[in-house]
Amino acid sequence: MSYENRYSVPEKWLHRIGFSTGAVQLNVSDIEDRLYAKQLEGIVVKQPVFITALPRAGTTILLNLLVKTGEFATHTYRDMPFVLCPMLWQKFSSRFQQDDAPRERAHGDGLSISLQSPEAFEEIIWRLFWKDHYRDSHIEPWTDCGDDEFLDFFTRHMRKIIALRNQGGEPGRRYASKNNGNIARLDILQDVFPDATVIIPFRDPLDHAASLLNQHQRFLAMHSQDRFSARYMEGIGHYDFGDNLKPVNFNDWIKSDRRPDATGLGFWLDYWIAAYRYILSRQSDTVHLLSYADLISNPHESLARLAEVLRLRDPEALVCQAGELRPAREHSIDSSALDPDMLVHANEINQKLHDNSIRID
């Protein structure tokens, strides 16, 4: 289903208003702080979890599994489009938002979403505070935090998401996010949240590059036929594919200010190399690599080890979901035009990722 058909005319107007009022929402958020001060009192951000990687690495599946344990709080589609003042928006929208039936998301990958589904909307915040990082052709990685106003707002926002998801449930949930853009901010996340856990899944480089290319082609076609879908993805800060593509410029691998040609497999394999080489240089006690192949081939053992890394109160709540894991869809891959040295380099990085990943005994 296209975005054009998925949303009614009033819903599309609401989204357009939400996407164009970021600065206003920041001010409303200050009012929200005062109105909900008592509810937010005592809520602290402890041991947050950040799931990040290049798209198509299994981040959405991991987030869904974590949310089902009941130990985590995250954004949901219900928070859209006024993401920056989520508590006031929930109070207002509860008058008319109705529970909807799950439907396949736009990626066409078999994953279903509804208003209750967890999703990544943090990028809206990062983009508001760090406009200079979002260039016409790419996104520049972050080297330091350097903005106390941002950190204060982001932490308060995390507390609000925890408060919202605690309603009617078990208190003391931990904040969790799935945001592909966070691979450009590993230095900040480790510095600001020293008790956090960062999980970075990875896949075989050629399979992963083919999946990225397939999605880019899919979204190019969608955006050419459905302009609202392009505006929607731009509004929530998803620059992964299609007309909105802005790859992260890891170690200046993008040499031009012009938008890169991403219609070939070589571009995506080059992007994979740049991204995971950068990630390897940032690995620490906080950052953990997870092989998607291991997760699929040894689901019980992998989830048990992941539960240990995440310090879950109830590891079995994660392990019991092993049956929900499915192999990634296979793609027909023509690698004949690729530079053989590039493939060798990618496979060398992939081996290093495996060598440094969460070990399954």
pLDDT confidence of 101, banded at 50, 70, 90? low
Question: What are 38-76's pLDDT values in tens digits?
Answer: 999 889 999 999 999 999 999 999 999 999 999 999 999
Determine the average pLDDT of the residues in 325-348: 87
Q: Over 80: is that where the pLDDT of 152 sits?
A: yes
Domains of the chain and CATH, by start: 3-355 (3.40.50)
Q: Average pLDDT for residues 93-114, to the nearest whole number? A: 58
pLDDT above 90 (res 306): yes
* Other residues' Cβ atoms within 10 Å of the Cβ of residue 115: 15
Mean pLDDT of the chain: 87
What integer is the mean pLDDT of 278-290?
94
C-alpha distances (whole Å) from 57 to each of 44, 202, 305 are 30, 5, 19
Sign of CA dihedral 24, 27, 32, 35: negative
Q: Quote the pLDDT of residue 2.
A: 46
**Which band of pLDDT confidence, cut at 50, 70 and 90, is reported for residue 319?**
very high
Q: Taking residues 141-150, report their average pLDDT.
A: 83
- Running DSSP on this structure, what letter comes out for residue 322? G
Query: What are the DSSP calls for 143-209, one per residue?
Result: -----HHHHHHHHHHHHHHHHHHHTTS-S-PEEEEE-GGGGG-HHHHHHH-TT-EEEEEE--HHHHH
pLDDT of residue 112 exceeding 80? no
* Spatial separation of the C-alpha atoms in residues 242 and 301, rounded to whole Å: 37
The whole-angstrom separation of Cα 265 and Cα 139 is 21
**20 vs 179, which has greater pLDDT?**
179
